Amino acid sequence: MKIYACTEGRSGQVDAVSLEMIAAARSLARDGDDVIAFFAGSAAADAAGKFGTADRLVAAIAPEADIVVAGTYARQLCDVIAAEGAGIVVVPYSANGLDVASSVAARLDWPLVSYVEKIARDGQSLSVVAQLYGGKVLADCSVPLPAVLMVNPGAFAEATATPLSPDRIDTIDIAELVAASRVRPISIDLPDFSDVDLKAAERIVCVGRGIGDEASIDLARDLAALLGAEIAGSRPVVDNGWLPKLRQVGKSGQKVKPKLYMALGVSGAPEHLEGMGQSDMIIAVNTDPKAPIFNVAHYGATCDLFELMSSLSERLQPSDT
């Protein structure tokens, strides 16, 4: 059986989540199966050393296309599968993957399970554990093959980035397909980290929606200053305009790994955990004892975050002496 791992990257770089997808695909392979990494972009050759333990790489290349839009990616992948056959396709839960997974499932009329955390292969079907309701419920699913799985980042450890020899790389020219697309990238905005680079911060105080309003962010800023920490926010805080986008931690924000991560009024949705779950020390403050943030935190407190900020700031004030 052929098992496809969807990989992603730009400018000769392969995103870490690609190696996780290869590991997921590899975990499902039996003797005689082929794990095939699929890549669409402009510079897979530069990145060929990074496709981990895949048996082969199918690189769909359009020299000018640093970003290949999801519709084109999905279409080309379906063409490859139609030509070669496949039993399983694993797609990362990413901006691109969100579009690719359902698109491939619809085009091939295959089952799809999203937000997958665990997969076990069982003859001609899969047993899959996936998240529902933002991770508050787990679903045990039975999935007939062939099937598409959209896998949560972090569910599988990255495969080792071993180089692939050139004879195991198939290149397809998709320049025409890219040109025919009715979606065309016209600009890419890259972050300017000169103001703040959360990835480099050793200490972070992150506020979630529990902070309530914009004015209260100042209290958290004062606490962060006392700790020598950067202030950060969850998505709703940034969406509300209370903090700039570069200070968002999570799936569509920054992935951080500070020595200290203090989460105040953050519930711990999977998309948030994706950005901070690897922090050395996580202290979470949330009035809801069932908040999922406590599952990754090292220390947790169920007190009111405002009372905590005030008590903590008082204790951290520099003494006069």
Partner 1 sequence: MNILVILRMVPDAAGELLLTGDGLGIDREWLDFQLNDFDDHALEDAILLKEATGAKVTVIAIGEGTNRILQMAAARGADEVIALPCEEDELLSSRDLAATVVDLARARSADLVVCGVQSSEDLFGQLAPYVGAMLDWPHISGTNRIEASGGGLHVTQERGAGVSVTYEVVLPAVLGVQTATKAPRYVSGSKLREASKTPIGRGERQASSFTLSASIEGLRIPEETGSAQQLGEDAENVAERIVAILESNGIGRR
User: Between residues 146 and 210, which has the closer beta carbon with respect to ligand FAD?
Assistant: 210
Q: Binders of partner 1 among 165-184, rule CB under 8 A?
A: 181-184
Question: According to CB under 8 A, which one of 1, 45, 139, 172 is a site residue for partner 1?
Answer: 139
The DSSP element (H or E) to which 271 belongs, if any, is helix 270-276
Residue 79 backbone phi and psi in degrees, to 5: -65, -45
Is 1 a binder of partner 1 (CB under 8 A)? no
Minimum distance between the CB of residue 267 and ligand FAD, rounded to whole angstroms?
A: 3
Token digits of residue 50? 């990074």
Evaluated on CA atoms 274, 272, 275, 202, the torsion sign reads: negative
Residue pair 148/89 in contact (Cβ under 8 Å)? The answer is yes
Residue pair 45/136 in contact (Cβ under 8 Å)? The answer is no
Question: According to CB under 6 A, which one of 92, 111, 153, 253 is a site residue for ligand FAD?
Answer: 253
Question: According to CB under 8 A, which one of 4, 38, 115, 242 is a site residue for partner 1?
Answer: 115
Token digits of residue 14? 């392969």
Q: Binders of partner 1 among 211-240, rule CB under 8 A?
A: 226-228, 239-240
Q: Which does 217 bind (CB under 5 to 8 A by kind): ligand FAD, partner 1, none?
A: none
Residue pair 91/148 in contact (Cβ under 8 Å)? The answer is yes
User: Between residues 7 and 267, which has the closer beta carbon with respect to ligand FAD?
Assistant: 267
Question: According to CB under 6 A, which one of 266, 282, 296, 297 is a site residue for ligand FAD?
Answer: 266
Is 251 a binder of ligand FAD (CB under 6 A)? yes
- The torsion angle over the Cα atoms of residues 77, 167, 153 and 119, rounded to 10 degrees, is 80
Minimum distance between the CB of residue 95 and ligand FAD, rounded to whole angstroms?
A: 7
DSSP 12: T
Residue pair 261/281 in contact (Cβ under 8 Å)? The answer is yes
Residue pair 262/312 in contact (Cβ under 8 Å)? The answer is no
Cα–Cα distance, 19 to 294 (Å, whole number): 28
User: Between residues 1 and 139, which has the closer beta carbon with respect to partner 1?
Assistant: 139
Residue 236 backbone phi and psi in degrees, to 5: -60, -35
| Residue span 203-222 as binding mask against ligand FAD, x where in contact by CB under 6 A, dash where not | -----xxx------------
Peptide bond into 146 cis (omega under 30): yes
Residue pair 290/302 in contact (Cβ under 8 Å)? The answer is no
Q: Binders of partner 1 among 92-111, rule CB under 8 A?
A: 94-96, 98-103, 105-107, 109-111
Q: Which does 180 bind (CB under 5 to 8 A by kind): ligand FAD, partner 1, none?
A: none
| Residue span 293-312 as binding mask against ligand FAD, x where in contact by CB under 6 A, dash where not | -----------xxx------
Question: According to CB under 6 A, which one of 6, 48, 91, 285 is a site residue for ligand FAD?
Answer: 285
Residues that bind ligand FAD (CB under 6 A): 134, 208-210, 234-236, 248-253, 265-267, 269, 271-272, 275, 285-288, 291, 304-306
